[in-house]
Structure 1
Amino acid sequence: MNTLRSWLLTGLLVSALAQSAVLAQIQKGYNIGDAITDFHLKNVDGRIVSLADYRTQKGIIIVFTSTHCPFAKTYEDRLRALDQKFAPQGYPVLAIMPNDPNAYEEDSFASMKARAQEKDYPYPYVMDDTQSTAHTFGATRTPQIYVVKRTNGQFILEYVGTIDDNPQDGASAQRHYVDEAVNNLLAGRPVQSPMTKPIGCGIKWK
């Protein structure tokens, strides 16, 4: 019995420490329940994208991603699937590229445009050239997801973290965190797991 109690306490401690680590990371930027500040970023088609463009939507699936990162490439089809599923229900995908393009030529604006055309992105792919938006959000990885819900004219953060629990193989994922979060919000329920650890390449800061 003592062994079982010790095992349970150890498990609870590990879980609490993991949650604290995620929370500490998020506290560098937005926390769950915070209102998102508007931004104006250039899309690969040349137009400027801002939160105001989404004022008729129920929310947005915002992803900080990049063109060079292997993790980001692995998740491209899953992002397309999320947009295909949830954009008609009021939660479209918005992709933001936060990296310093001097670190990787693949993250240049020209390469972003080429990749978006090659993969036929159905969602905007915008460049955070000053990196101020990534800093404000507290993003650290690509890809890293922020699900926001429009409430009383503001966009409120409801989920932050990874897309699912298997970056190598989406078909083998056991938890689809973004899918779960948006489905909960659409049903008027709180997000079951509002914070998860983002998995991907570190953002390349200037």
Structure 2
Amino acid sequence: MKILKTTLVLVMVAFLSAFTLKVDKESYKIGDKIEDFTLKNIDNKMVSLSDYKNAKGFVIIFTCNTCPYSVANEDRIIALDKKYKEKGFPVIAINPNDPVAVPDDSFAKMKDRANEKGFTFPYLLDVGQKVYPKFGATKTPHVYIVTKNDMKVKYIGAIDNSSRNPDKVTEKYVENALDALLKGAEIQKKETRAIGCTIKVQ
């Protein structure tokens, strides 16, 4: 019996370890300078932050097709892009999930979802899952605001204080942070807790 229990425990550990997030120990923190990246957009073109010559910064959001938290935030993400892109802070959405582990997060399915919802922003696939670990993203959605002039992280966390129901939002973390940056003021809440689904790995 003890041998059986030990075997089961080892099997469970091995199974869970296969799905461990690949978050770097030295992942980005507030004030850190990020590296640019190049990922494929749903229009099959490669996108880098350096492509945005006139941007003041970026709202980088790790999101996906399948997480109910991400789906519940899609309209809010679209609204953020429409409101702040013209002010210099476009949304850059990145799907960090492994499409082998989650077939509905495949590149083809990303295209379908973006067309269905009318995404107004790039929706990039983190092929090989090389970008999200550098950021330290663990959830979908997980937001990072970065300024363009110094490429530094200014905010990390959730979009607002209601992960699922937009009618219950009483504090808009990302909007407040962006408004502060646009005014040249200090962001009052630089970090909040991201609530969502765990990023899926193969």
4+ residue runs over 3 A deviation: 25-28
User: 1:131 is matched by which residue type in structure 2?
Assistant: Q
1:63 aligns with 2:45: no
SS of residue in 2 equivalent to 1:179? helix
| Aligned-pair CA distance for 1:170 | 1.3
Match of 2:151 among 146, 152, 155: 155
SS of residue in 1 equivalent to 2:66? coil
| Aligned-pair CA distance for 1:67 | 0.6
| Aligned-pair CA distance for 1:102 | 1.3
* TM-score of the aligned structures, taking structure 2 as reference length: 0.86
Equivalence for 2:45:
47
* More helix, by proportion: 1
User: 1:201 is matched by which residue type in structure 2?
Assistant: C
Once residues 39 and 174 of structure 1 are traced to their aligned partners in structure 2, the CA distance between those partners, rounded to angstroms, is 34
| Aligned-pair CA distance for 1:122 | 0.3
Equivalence for 1:186:
182
Where does the alignment leave 5 or more consecutive residues of structure 2 unmatched? 1-22
| Aligned-pair CA distance for 1:202 | 0.2
Matches for 1:35-184 after TM superposition, within 5 Å: 35-151=33-149, 154-184=150-180
| Aligned-pair CA distance for 1:113 | 0.5
* TM-score of the aligned structures, taking structure 1 as reference length: 0.84
Equivalence for 1:9:
none
User: 1:158 is matched by which residue type in structure 2?
Assistant: K
CA contact (8 A) 2:24 2:134 kept: no
User: 1:175 is matched by which residue type in structure 2?
Assistant: E
- Aligned CA distance change for structure 1 residues 69 and 28 (closer, same or farther; 3 Å): farther
| Aligned-pair CA distance for 1:60 | 0.5
- Aligned CA distance change for structure 1 residues 176 and 88 (closer, same or farther; 3 Å): same
Overall identity of the aligned pairs, in %: 44
User: 2:190 is matched by which residue type in structure 1?
Assistant: P
Once residues 125 and 95 of structure 1 are traced to their aligned partners in structure 2, the CA distance between those partners, rounded to angstroms, is 5
SS of residue in 2 equivalent to 1:63? strand
